[in-house]
Structure formats: structure tokens, C-alpha cells
Structure 1
Amino acid sequence: MTAAPPPSASSAPSSPGPGGLQRRLGLGAAVVIGLGSMIGAGVFSAFAPAAAAAGDLLLVSLLIAGVVAFCNATSTAQLAAQHPTSGGAYAFGRERLGEWPGFVAGWGFVVGKTASCAAMATTAAVALVPDPWTRPAALLLVVAVTVLNAAGITRTAAATAVIVAAVLAVLVLVVVVVGSAPPGVGAVVDAASGAGGAGGGDGAGGAGAGPTPVAVLQGAGLLFFAFAGYARIATLAEEVRRPSVTIPRAVVIALSAALVVYAAVALVLLRALGSAGTAASQRPLVDAVEAAGAGWLAPVVAVATGVAASGALLALVAGIGRTSLAMAREGDLPRGLAVVDARRGVPLRAELVLAAVVGVLVLTVDLRGVIGASSFGVLVYYLVANVAALTQTGEHRRWPRVLPVLGAVACVALVVTLPLASVLAAAAVFVVGVLGRLVVLRRRRGSPGAGRSGSRTTGL
């Protein structure tokens, strides 16, 4: 193992420097990793809380989330093409806006997505094994995913391709079966009563009243979390061949495919269950196939939920490992994590530490309810990315300037509409990170011979 210096931000070498990551991913592999991040457990679970907020305007929430995602995706792809290094918005923010914006993006991503890893592992275990064994199964899944990621990024991409193919096959089957069946009981009740969804979501009106604009935006914020995984392509930018061409194409292709899948799933859920039925369901797709008279498909959907969550976990571990590597290179995380395994070409030490933390979490707490808090962290992450994209000029600006402006404004708007408890919990995490970094910087300045903050001669 060797310590990994950051590559030049403006170059895209075909082979790494000493201790660097290796460019092994082509367009297909990059698209697959993006899809594996987006078509995860969210497609099976995010529609219920979104429907509780948006009611019959669920599709409007999905459209808004898609527009925001496109703005953020183009900003991220544009930045990654110019700065093809690990770390995503952490690296972009630090390079173009300064150390603090970069740190805020990176800290929110690492901490928030670490909690998401525990949530994905637990979700997969709950779907695949009976209750007494869920925690041990979740731990075994974390170990298996870590071993697979440690084998190299091409192994990660290959495993993700298999998972994505299996999950997409199940989703297509669900859409065909449910779409061809008569409308379910929930949909009939909604149509007859004119109910505006669950009626009890934040910002929704009373009985018979439609959801408010704030409620629709809240639904969009919750759905945005579900398919924001295109950032995983950017965090792996240091391992993508011809990044200036491959990354923009991969991001747009993966996001477009995910949006089509989510739109199809939303339509069949509304057809089978209605907005109120979707909001009330803990397993919307399982309930949808049962409402369509295809109970035989319910166990298949349940297994697909676990497989999809496993795929999302696989991509999350890869993305967090690379962001941790980038932060450790700059001293924003312990420098011992800035190590790349020379044989496998992966940030092995960062991934092992991540696996240990996630393992403790899955054995001690249930974090499946962190969707709102994780959305907060993701939106802050993309806010930094959009502002960084605004500083790009000339040949590096690939899309109109209005897109990062709209993306930044939308990120702030969606943060405001998230549930208050989620906002407070996530804000507390950011405060802890900022205070911790201030303490570290003060100690560095007080140490004889200490370099400047972020200097490569000092570390945490």
C-alpha cells in the first residue's frame, strides 16, 4: 500500500501516478454503477413517504425531482470532466470555492451516506431473511460488499451490472402485470372520493383538499433522495477512462434511464393503490402486485427489494471510499485513509474503516428512517456542486449557466421543505463536523512547524 497523492485537477492521465487509482471504467461500466446507485431500495420505498406528502400530485413531485436531478447532474458531470479526480463535490468545491465549501460537501456526503449504508444493509436483510436474523444478515452483507469492492472497481462494476439487470427485469414484470390489470381498490377509492392523497402529509390540506405547493416540494425532496446516485460516477472520476467524454455521457444516460423507471413505477402504483394507498403502504410494490391479483409475484418483488438495496450498498461503499480518500489526501480526514492498495487499485483502508463503522451501526441501531436526513446532506452536497459549476468558463462550460443556477435554488427550496426533525438531525451532524475541523485547524496552527491547513506535510 502507498499513500496516494491527488492527481492534477486539470489532467486526465490514462495511468495513475504512484499510489493513485487506475482508470479502468469505460462508458458502460460507469452507466451501470450510476444505475446501481439510483435503482436501489428507493424505488421500492421512497414513493410511500412522497405520496403521503404530495398526494395525487405525486407525479408532479417526481417531475420536479427529475428537473432538479438533471440540473445537478449536468453540473456534476461538467465539473468531473474538468477535474477528473476522486471526491466528487468535495474535490470540486475545494478546488473552485475554497477549503470550507469543499469540506462541508464532503463531510455531509461521508457521514450521511455512511448512515445510508447501514439503512441499505438493514433494508436488504429485512427483505431477505426472517426477523431474528436480520442484524447478523445485515452485517454479513456489509462484509460481503466490502470484500467485493476490495477486489477492484471492475469487480464492483460487474457485480452491479448483474444486480441492475435482475432488478430491472423484476420492475419491468411488475409494470407489465400491474399495468395490464384493472385499477386496484385504492385507486378506485381515490377516484370516487376525489381525495388528495393521504391527507395527513405535512402541508397537505384537510379532508378533500389537495396538497399544497410546499407538500409537493416535500414529496420532490424525498424522491430526489431515491435517484441522486448519479454522483457516484463523479466520485469515481479518477477511475474513468477518457473522463472528459465518458462522465458527461454516463451521467445523462444513467439519469435518463432511472427517470423512465421511476415514472413507470409511479404510474403503476397510482393505478393499483391510488395516492392514499401508496402513502399508507410499507411495501408499495408488493401491495400493488397483490392488488392486481398477482400475489405470486409478491415474493419476487420482496427479494428484488433486498437485491436492489444490496446494489445500492455496493455503489455507496465505493463512493464513500473514494470521497474519504480525497478528504484524507487534504487532511480533512485522518491521513492514514489516503492509501491506495497497489495491487487492487482501491482505497482499501478507507473501505475497511467504513465497513467497521457500518457494521457497528447495523448491529446497534435501525437507520431505515434516515431518508429525510440523508436528503438534507445530498442537497447540500449538490448545492456546493452547482455553485462550483457557476465558476466554470470557456470550453469547460458544457451546459447553459441557467442549469446550475436553477439547481442551486432548487436545492435550497427542497431543503426548506424537508421534515423539521430531519433538518435538525442533519444540521447537527454538520455542526459537529465544522466544530471538529475548527479544533483541528487551531491545533495545527499552534503546533511548531505545522503547515497551513490542508498542507500535505500535516494531517489529522
Structure 2
Amino acid sequence: MSGSGNAAGPDRLVRRLGVGDAVVIGLGSMIGAGVFAAFGPAAAAAGAGLIIGLVIAAVIAYCNATASAQLAAAYPTSGGTYVYGRERLGHRWGFVAGWGFVVGKTASCAAMALTFAAYAVPGPWWVQRIVAVLGVVGLAALNYRGVTRTAQATRILVACTLTTLAVLVAGIWLGGHASPDRVGGWDALTTGGAYGILQAAGLLFFAFAGYARVATLGEEVRDPARTIPRAIPLALAITVVVYLVVGLSALFAAGPELLARSAAPLAATVQAAGVGELAPLVRVGGALASLGALLALIAGVGRTTLAMARNRDLPGWLAAVHPRYRIPHHAEIAVAAVVCVLVLTTDVRGVIGFSSFGVLVYYAIANASAFTQPAGQRRWPRALNVLGVTGCVVLVAALPWTSVVAGVVMFGLGLAGRAVVLHRRA
């Protein structure tokens, strides 16, 4: 199933993305998800220990990124670990991965839409919900015009986000209010205990999971065997550096308690740092970053939905590819509709934990799939796959119990539904 040709039939997507585009889409999927949303729940779980959690999440994310890159080079088609699980472990494991990704990342879309609204409209909650829905509809319409439009828009949004974060960090340290004393010394790093730190790592993993968006777009990447293994680790490395710098700056400026209380933690950070005049810029940057993540997320979920529909693991009408724009238009419309419902009925912190559950299961299967690849397809040692599986399982167990229960129910419903469908076909 490997290959990198550009030929496309009426039901196939077109290879239009190079290394730069792929890196930008990965950055757009990550930067924004973590910096502007996940630090709050992580601080509530571990206090200043969120920094340790961030490092743990980054290590596990690296294991997952290398596994995804290695698999995507061998299977350059839409669907990501859904396809890899089917090819390497069997159809049932592929379904579990695909179901976890589609449901978990649909929840991520809702989290990003709500984060966008929290930064863009610091007004009544009902106004924020309406603005979030409008954002989802607008980006779904943009995605409908084709993946090159998605890459171009993401490039602009990522540039705006990185500029905003650079100004934010400079303002924090030049404002004179940032100090390690706000963290409380070295002992404060462990006040949340091992469980709190691992829970923070699981919640912050939500912030890293966008690197594999490149893999889910594998059918639209030029020379995937070369492009994907370069783009995924590069996008992850840039994101880890940005997260560490911003995370430490926010802790030194605001302290873990203020971060834990705020729905827009970086906006609260600039106020605490004595540079409140930067608050409008941070709100604009947070809104743009969330839009960039949401844009890439909708594209990634749509492609996995397309792959599952092609194999009849989801309704067949979701496999339609637009004859002009060459995108899975039915899948993306369905995803946008579900996200709008979630935006109107959920909150950011709840969907972050739920999303992390589904996506950690997805990457555990990715690592297990990569472990089975033969020597000719391997680019990284199998030890990373073992560490990745172990890390994903540990972080799943450490998530808030409500997220664990919701995740187990979600997978149970998916597998039960699939069993019914297979029984009817038989």
C-alpha cells in the first residue's frame, strides 16, 4: 500500500503538500491547543508540577511521533493509525484506533472552538457559545474549498500565533513582575504528587497530539516516504520548545493557582505580570491560535472518517470526495455538525480530558503497530514503541475519573455498534 504517486481517481485525494506545508499544519494543530487551553487544567491537577508533566508528555509524544512517521512513510494514505492498525494488527484494532481518533478529536474540535470564543469574546457564556459555533461553520466552509486553502490559512495563523507568544514572553520578563518565587521553590514541583503530575501529563498530551495530523493527511502529501518522517519530528520539536518557554514564563508571572482558575490562562498571565496593555494582543493571538488548531483538526478528523467509511466501518456516504475540491465533503460537514452540538452542550475542561483518553488509546495502537514493522520499514528502534505504549496506558489511567468513565463508555458503544453491523452483514 506504499507509494507516492500523484495519480488520483475520482474517489482519491490529490498530493499537494510539501515538507513546509506539512510542518505548518502540524504546528497549527499543536500550538494553540496547549498554550492557550491546557495549562489551566494541568495547573489544577499538579500545580507547578505541570512543568514535569509537560516533559513527560513531550517524551511520550516523541515516541508516538516517530511511530506515526515510520508508519505513514510505509502507508501513505488517509486515515492515520486507523489504517496502520488494520494493516499491522487486524481490522478490530484498526477500528478501535479510528473510533478513538474520530470521537476524541471531534471533542478536541469543540475544545478549540470554545477556547477561541473565550479569548475572542470575554462576555456572557451564551454569546461565547454562539461565536464558537460561527467559528466552526466558517472554518468548515474554508476546508470545503480544498486542502491547499487549509495549508495557506494555517500558515498565516501560525505566524500570527508565534508572533503573539514572542511578544507575550518578552512582555512578561520585561514587566519586572515575573519571579521564581511565585512558583514556591523546588518543593512546589511535587505538591500535586505522582498522580497529579501524571494527570497533568495526560491533559497536556492533548496539546501535543496534533503532530500526527500530517499522517492523517498522508494521501495529500508529496513524496510521503521522505516528507512525513521529516515533518512530524520537526513540528514536534518546535512545539516542545515553545511550550516550555511559555509555560515557565506563565508560572513565574502568574503562579499555578491563578492559571488553574482561569479559562483564558495567558490573558490572566499578562495581567499578573503587570503588562495588562498586552491583554488585547494575547486575546487576539489566542483566538487566532485556536482557529488554526480547529482548522487543522477538522481536516484531520474528516480524513480519518473518510478512511473508515471506505472500509464500511462508518456509513458509506461519508466516503464521498468532492469532484472539484477533492476533499471528503460529506465527512467534514458531518464533523462540523457534531462539533457544533458539543460546543453548545459541553465545557473546555471536560472535553480536554475526554479527548486525551481517545487519542492516547489511538497512539498506543500506533506504537504497537510500529513495533510489528519489519526491518526494511524501520527508522527508529523498537524500544521507543515499547516506551510509547507503556506511557500512553499510564497516562490514560491517570486522567480524571470522569474522563476515564466517559472514554470506556465511548469505546464500548463503538465496539458494540460495530459488532451489530458485522452480525447483520453476516
Q: Normalising to structure 1: TM-score of the pair?
A: 0.88
> Which of these residues, 140, 146, 153, is aligned with residue 152 of structure 1?
146
Residue 68 of structure 1: aligned partner: 60
> What's the secondary structure of 1:298's corresponding residue?
helix
> In the alignment, is the contact (CA less than 8 A) between 2:182 and 2:252 conserved in 1?
no
> In the alignment, is the contact (CA less than 8 A) between 2:107 and 2:354 conserved in 1?
no
Residue 99 of structure 1: aligned partner: 91
**Alignment of 1:15 onto 2:15:** no
> Which of these residues, 391, 407, 412, is aligned with residue 372 of structure 2?
391
> In the alignment, is the contact (CA less than 8 A) between 1:122 and 1:368 conserved in 2?
no
- The Cα shift of 1:141 comes to 1.3
- The Cα shift of 1:364 comes to 4.3
Residue 3 of structure 1: aligned partner: none
Seen in structure 2, the aligned counterparts of structure 1 residues 441 and 293 have a Cα distance that, compared at 3 Å, is same
- The Cα shift of 1:190 comes to 4.2
Residue 29 of structure 1: aligned partner: 21
- The Cα shift of 1:378 comes to 0.6
**Alignment of 1:191 onto 2:172:** no
- The Cα shift of 1:28 comes to 0.5
Q: Distance in 1 between matches of 2:192 and 2:149?
A: 45
The code of the aligned residue for 1:301 comes to V
Q: Distance in 1 between matches of 2:398 and 2:342?
A: 28
The code of the aligned residue for 2:136 comes to V
> What's the secondary structure of 1:74's corresponding residue?
helix
> Which of these residues, 165, 168, 171, is aligned with residue 174 of structure 1?
168
> Which of these residues, 44, 47, 52, is aligned with residue 55 of structure 1?
47
- 1:390-415, CA deviations, whole angstroms, 9 ceiling, x for partnerless residues? 01112210001111110001000111
**Alignment of 1:137 onto 2:131:** yes
Comparing 104-113 with 9-18, greater Cα deviation is found at 9-18
Residue 317 of structure 1: aligned partner: 298
> What's the secondary structure of 1:214's corresponding residue?
helix
> In the alignment, is the contact (CA less than 8 A) between 1:41 and 1:306 conserved in 2?
no
**Alignment of 1:338 onto 2:319:** yes
Q: Distance in 1 between matches of 2:84 and 2:237?
A: 24
> Which of these residues, 378, 382, 390, is aligned with residue 359 of structure 2?
378
> In the alignment, is the contact (CA less than 8 A) between 2:158 and 2:292 conserved in 1?
yes
> Which of these residues, 258, 261, 266, is aligned with residue 242 of structure 2?
261
Q: Distance in 1 between matches of 2:183 and 2:329?
A: 52
The code of the aligned residue for 1:100 comes to R
- The Cα shift of 1:239 comes to 0.3
Q: Distance in 2 between matches of 1:366 and 1:45?
A: 12
Residue 44 of structure 1: aligned partner: 36
The code of the aligned residue for 1:119 comes to A
> In the alignment, is the contact (CA less than 8 A) between 1:190 and 1:276 conserved in 2?
no
> Which of these residues, 281, 287, 292, is aligned with residue 306 of structure 1?
287
Q: Normalising to structure 2: TM-score of the pair?
A: 0.95
Residue 356 of structure 1: aligned partner: 337
- The Cα shift of 1:17 comes to 3.1
> In the alignment, is the contact (CA less than 8 A) between 2:16 and 2:221 conserved in 1?
yes
Residue 417 of structure 1: aligned partner: 398
- 1:224-270, CA deviations, whole angstroms, 9 ceiling, x for partnerless residues? 11121011000000000000000010001100000011000111012
**Alignment of 1:120 onto 2:112:** yes
- The Cα shift of 1:121 comes to 1.6
- 1:256-306, CA deviations, whole angstroms, 9 ceiling, x for partnerless residues? 000011000111012112233333333321222112211110121112222
Q: Would you tell me which structure has more helix in proportion to its own residues?
A: 2
Q: Distance in 2 between matches of 1:64 and 1:22?
A: 37
Task: Look at both structures and tell me which one has the larger radius of gyration over its CA atoms.
Answer: 1
**Alignment of 1:435 onto 2:412:** no
Q: Distance in 1 between matches of 2:76 and 2:284?
A: 37
Residue 266 of structure 2: aligned partner: 285
> What's the secondary structure of 2:350's corresponding residue?
coil
- The Cα shift of 1:85 comes to 0.6
Q: Distance in 2 between matches of 1:285 and 1:128?
A: 13
Seen in structure 2, the aligned counterparts of structure 1 residues 254 and 346 have a Cα distance that, compared at 3 Å, is same
- For these two proteins, the number of residue pairs brought into alignment is 424
> Which of these residues, 72, 81, 93, is aligned with residue 89 of structure 1?
81
The code of the aligned residue for 2:319 comes to A
The code of the aligned residue for 1:158 comes to Q
> In the alignment, is the contact (CA less than 8 A) between 1:383 and 1:407 conserved in 2?
yes
Comparing 269-278 with 221-230, greater Cα deviation is found at 269-278
Seen in structure 2, the aligned counterparts of structure 1 residues 189 and 229 have a Cα distance that, compared at 3 Å, is closer
Q: Distance in 2 between matches of 1:101 and 1:56?
A: 37
> Which of these residues, 184, 190, 193, is aligned with residue 212 of structure 1?
193
Seen in structure 2, the aligned counterparts of structure 1 residues 396 and 151 have a Cα distance that, compared at 3 Å, is same
- 1:144-170, CA deviations, whole angstroms, 9 ceiling, x for partnerless residues? 111110111000000001101001100
> Which of these residues, 197, 208, 228, is aligned with residue 247 of structure 1?
228
- The Cα shift of 1:189 comes to 4.8
> In the alignment, is the contact (CA less than 8 A) between 2:119 and 2:264 conserved in 1?
no
Seen in structure 2, the aligned counterparts of structure 1 residues 281 and 353 have a Cα distance that, compared at 3 Å, is closer
- The Cα shift of 1:184 comes to 4.0
**Alignment of 1:426 onto 2:375:** no
Identity, in percent, stands at 56
